[in-house]
Amino acid sequence: MIVIPPIADRKIRFALVGCGRIANNHFGALEKHAPETDGREGLKSLELLIAMYLSARDGRRVSLPLDY
């Protein structure tokens, strides 16, 4: 586990904590531990993000799942 030293700037600390979680997730996967999220969860997040962009661009509602 990565240990983050105390940092006065909250924004920097937040960024380092986030990076630490990502690093721990990667190293855990290399050690054959199940990741916190898998590829399917990532695709769902990406699809939601794409739908939000399409909705904002076109000014309309977008149904999920998207048709590719």
Assess contact for 29 and 35: CB atoms under 8 A: yes
Q: Is 46 found in the same domain as 25?
A: no
Q: In this predicted structure, what is the pLDDT of residue 1?
A: 55
Vertex 40 angle, CA 48 and 63, to 5°:
30
Q: Please tell me the predicted confidence (pLDDT) of residue 49.
A: 94
Whole-angstrom distance, CA of residue 26 vs CA of residue 34: 10
40/38 Cα distance (integer angstroms) = 6
pLDDT over threshold 90, residue 6: no
Find the radius of gyration of the CA atoms of the chain.
17
| Model pLDDT, residue 33 | 73
Please write the tens of the pLDDT for every residue from 7-60. Answer: 555 555 555 566 677 777 777 777 777 777 778 888 998 999 999 999 999 999
- The parent domain of residue 45 ranges over 38-68
Provide the number of structural domains found in the chain.
Answer: 2
Is residue 30 domain-resident? yes
